[in-house]
Amino acid sequence: MPAKTGKEYINRLKEANNNIYIHGERVDDVTEHPAFKNVIQSMAHLYDLQYEKEDKMLYTSPTTGKKVGMTFLQPKSVEDLIKRREAMTEWARTSGGMMGRSPDYLNAEVMAMGMNNSLFAEADPRFAENARNYYEYARENDISLTHTLIHPQVNRGKMQHQQKDANVALHLVEEREDGIIVDGIRLLATQGGITDEILVFPSTVKKAGELDDPYSLAFAVPNNTPGLKFISRESFDYGKNEWDHPLGSRFEEGDAIVSFDNVFVPWDRVFVCGNSSVCNRTFRETNAVVHMSHQVLSKNIVKTEFVLGVALSVMDAIGIDQFQHVKDKGTEIMLTLETMRSHLYRAEHNAKFDQSGTMTPDFDALDAARNWYPRIFPRLQEIVRILGASGLMGIPTQEDFNHDEIGPIIHRGLQGKNLEGYERVQLFRLAWDLTLSAFGARQMHYEYYFFGDPIRMGMTYFDNYDKESYKDYINNFLKKSSGVNV
């Protein structure tokens, strides 16, 4: 079938009846539940946008000739990379980059895993074939995916096999002729239950080697697979209107604990099974992390544009853009934006073919960007909070403005330099929802840990960086200064 529409996305969720729990209850119809219905509508809009902007969002499948999503594209040139990124940007702009797990994130991953599949063959040749086939299946059916890749935080000072209850984490129970049985808990599935399928990634690094083999898994199954449950955290969509909660009422993706109760996975859906060596190398050797980082950088540029727009609008609304410290804070956001754009340009224009013939962005640029943004995004939010100051607390609701007695009072009393009270408060409620609401706080936490603990990521970045050339440069400089021939 070709790329799906928003209506088809919603109908699939209704028919699947995924096993989702929230607020102590099982969800009967996720498309109508208050915690999920609004973000589902936002997701549906992404799929409708594929047909509204067909030239930019769709391309012809190389196998079926049908129109499929551009975000599944295997790029064969720099121009293809840019085309795919432009489609990703179109999706990101609908939410101001607030939907961190829009479908393109995992679409890029399954493409990379499917095309660079030889790693999986080290354990079993059919696993490589499975990865390739799953990419084609996901592309041709426009499968929406959630994913999970980390173990529960039981005792972080011990390996999984050393835990008091070593069977809490998702693990291999049994290999059968027709597939495998897995059991245990995984964290943390964003958009868990409001997608078609779940992709279980290899947990990033398994230091214990063969002792971690039972936990070394990668597979994909439908979200309504028997024994699979999504236990969602409290929703940050509080059922408020879009005026009061302009972001949380539309883009609250949700995060879920995933429980596997002796779940059966057929062999043709398995990519890694009980092999910690393959598990540890999957992200890098398939270039999945490269193509995922390309999507993330594209999304974060849009997010930074959105933050800058809010900050500039707040400055203008209350006439503070003339002050030195205010301009300097605006400059911080602008420099962040231009730095991110530079990383993107370098990543795309220094791209090279990998062994599968896929045009792959320069990972050095992407790696720098993905290590830097978690450190800088909290500061961007802080700038908006500083600029808004007490105005972010003086934000009556739309109902207050509609009240006959107090409406006229606050409409006059909360006016800005160029805005009436109603318009100024609407803007400031957006700034509040971006930074101070439960939704805004989750955005900061989400970006900070997007690829993992930024301190550990920074240590890895430091260890892998080519440091010798710079030390040699200084060593040679000092030798010349002392009159020693180099």
Going by the annotation, the residues of the binding site for substrate are 101-105, 147, 203-204
- Taken in order 274, 276, 277, 283, is the CA torsion positive or negative? positive
Alpha helices in 389-467 (DSSP H): 398-402, 407-413, 421-435, 438-448, 454-464
Chain centroid to CA 75: how far?
20
Binding-site sequence positions for FAD: 147-149, 153-156, 190, 453-456
114 CB-near residues (< 8 Å, 6+ apart): 131, 132, 133, 134, 135, 136
Query: Tokens in use for 289?
Result: 């992390």
Tokens 């996975």 locate to 265
Alpha helices in 178-287 (DSSP H): 248-251, 276-285
Closest-CA residue to 378 (of 310, 330, 312, 307): 307
Contact 228, 260 (CB under 8 A): yes
Helix (H, G, I), strand (E, B) or coil at 341: helix
Please report which helix (H) or strand (E) contains residue 179, including its range: strand 179-190
- Taken in order 52, 56, 60, 61, is the CA torsion positive or negative? negative
Count other Cβ atoms within 10 Å, centred on residue 306. Answer: 20
Query: Tokens in use for 349?
Result: 């224009």
Report the distance separating Cα 9 and Cα 11, nearest Å: 6
Report the distance separating Cα 476 and Cα 375, nearest Å: 34
Contact 83, 91 (CB under 8 A): no
Binding-site sequence positions: 101-105, 147-149, 153-156, 190, 203-204, 453-456
- Taken in order 289, 291, 292, 293, is the CA torsion positive or negative? positive
